[in-house]
Homo-oligomer: A and B are copies of this chain.
Amino acid sequence: MNDSFEPQPALQPPFAGKIMLVGIGPGSVEHMTGRARAAIAEADVVIGYVTYIKLVADLIEGKEIIRKSMTEELDRAVSALEAARAGKKVALISSGDAGVYGMAGPTYEVLFQSGWTPDEAVQVEIIPGASALNSCAALVGAPLTHDFCAISLSDLLTPWPTIARRLDAVAMADFVVALYNPKSGRRTRQIVEAQRLFLRHRRADTPVAIVKSAYRRRENIVFTTLDRMADAEIGMLSTVLIGNSNTFVRNGLMVTPRGYANKYDMEEGGATRDGERAGRSLSTGLLGWLETLQAERAAGASVDILAARHRLPADYIRDTLAEPWNDEVATEGEGEA
C-alpha cells in the first residue's frame, strides 16, 4: 500500500474535487448536451487535447486550462486526478463520447493504479455525447439502422492480428462497420489491409462513406465503394463507414434497410407478407427457425449439412437440436396467435 495514494479525509463534499469526463459530441456547440455545457461551466480546470480545447473556447474564459498533445492521454488523467485531489472540479474533454475510444478508460486505469476507489472524496462523472459514428451517420443518411461495429485501425496499442481478426469476423458476418483512426501520416497500410480483408467477404461495390470533421468548419463527405476505399483521401480526422450487403446509396444518401421488406410488401402499400404478422417475430425468427431445423433434421439432413446450409457452427446446430425445450417450441409459437 502506498501512503501517497491515500484519500485526503480533510476534503469532503462540497469541498472535495471531482473529475467530469465530458463528451462534447462532434465539436459544434449546438451539438453539445446541456449537461456537457454545465460541466464545463462549473469546472475550475479544463483539460484536453488542444483541438478540443479550441472547440469549446467560448465556454472556458477565466478557467485554468491544461492543453495536452494527442499521445498524452495518461498524462491528462494524472493531471486531472492531481487537481481533483487538491479540491478542484476538473472537466476532462473528449470529442464525441468520452467512453468510445475516449478518456473514460485511461482515466479509470490511472485512478485504480493510484489506489482510488469510488468511496474516496474525489467523485467521477461521465457525461455521454454523440460519438463520431453517430455524427457521421447523421450526415450521410441512415447507415447504422442495423447491427454495426466500431473498429480502430490504430496499432499503437493493439497488435495487428487482433485488429485483422476483428475485421475478418465482422466482414464475414455482414455488419455495418465504422473504422476509427483509419489512417495517419505514419500509418498508411492499415486501411489497405482492411480493404483486402473486407473484399474476401463483401462485394466490390459495397457502399463506403468517408466523413472528415463532421459538423466542423472543414467538414467533407465522400461516397465511394469498397474496391476504391483505400485510394480515397483519408486522414486522422476521418471516419470510414462501410455498409453491409443491403446498404445502398440513393440520391446521395447512404441507407441500411432495417428489414421491413422481410415482413411487409413495400411496393404494395405495406401489406404484411404471407406467413408474417405485425408485431411478431419473423417466420424465420428464432422459434420458426428452430422448427425448420427440426423438420430438416427429421427429413434426414445431417448436422454438417445443416451447419453449411445455415452458415452456423456445427456444434451450435447439434446443441440446438439436442435442447430438451425444443418440444415446447411449436406450442409456444401457436400460443401467441
Chain A residues at the B interface, C-beta cutoff of 8 Å: 23, 25-26, 29-35, 37-38, 71, 73-74, 97-102, 104-109, 112-113, 117-118, 126-131, 134-135, 137-139, 141-152, 155-166, 168-170, 172-175, 186-187, 189-190, 193, 196-197, 200, 250-253, 255-260, 262-264, 266, 270, 278-282, 284-289, 310-313, 315-316, 319-320, 325, 336
Given contact pairs A25-B33, A101-B145, A138-B128, A170 touches B168 in the complex (Cβ within 8 A): no
Residues of B within 8 A of A280 (CB): 156, 186
Residues of B within 8 A of A312 (CB): 161, 164-165, 168
Write the chain B residue with the least CB distance to A153. B286
Whether B286 contacts A190 by the Cβ 8 Å rule is yes
Whether A144 contacts B200 by the Cβ 8 Å rule is no
Shortest Cβ gap from A180 to chain B (Å): 9
Among candidates B164, B256, B289, B319, residue contacting A105 with C-beta atoms closer than 8 Å: B256
Whether B286 contacts A193 by the Cβ 8 Å rule is yes
Residues of B within 8 A of A149 (CB): 147-150, 170, 175
Whether B311 contacts A157 by the Cβ 8 Å rule is no
Among candidates B155, B170, B258, B279, residue contacting A286 with C-beta atoms closer than 8 Å: B155
Number of copies: 2
A128-B134, A147-B163, A156-B285 are known contacts; what are 5 more A-B pairs with Cβ within 8 Å? A31-B34, A99-B143, A156-B281, A161-B311, A166-B175
Shortest Cβ gap from A127 to chain B (Å): 7
* Distance between Cα atoms of A186 and B156 in the complex (Å): 45
Among candidates B38, B126, B250, residue contacting A138 with C-beta atoms closer than 8 Å: B126
Residues of B within 8 A of A31 (CB): 33-35, 127-128
* Distance between Cα atoms of A287 and B160 in the complex (Å): 9
Whether B142 contacts A162 by the Cβ 8 Å rule is no
* Distance between Cα atoms of A193 and B142 in the complex (Å): 29
Among candidates B33, B134, B255, residue contacting A100 with C-beta atoms closer than 8 Å: B134
Residues of B within 8 A of A256 (CB): 105
Residues of B within 8 A of A336 (CB): 186
* Distance between Cα atoms of A181 and B264 in the complex (Å): 21
Given contact pairs A108-B142, A117-B251, A143-B99, A160 touches B130 in the complex (Cβ within 8 A): no
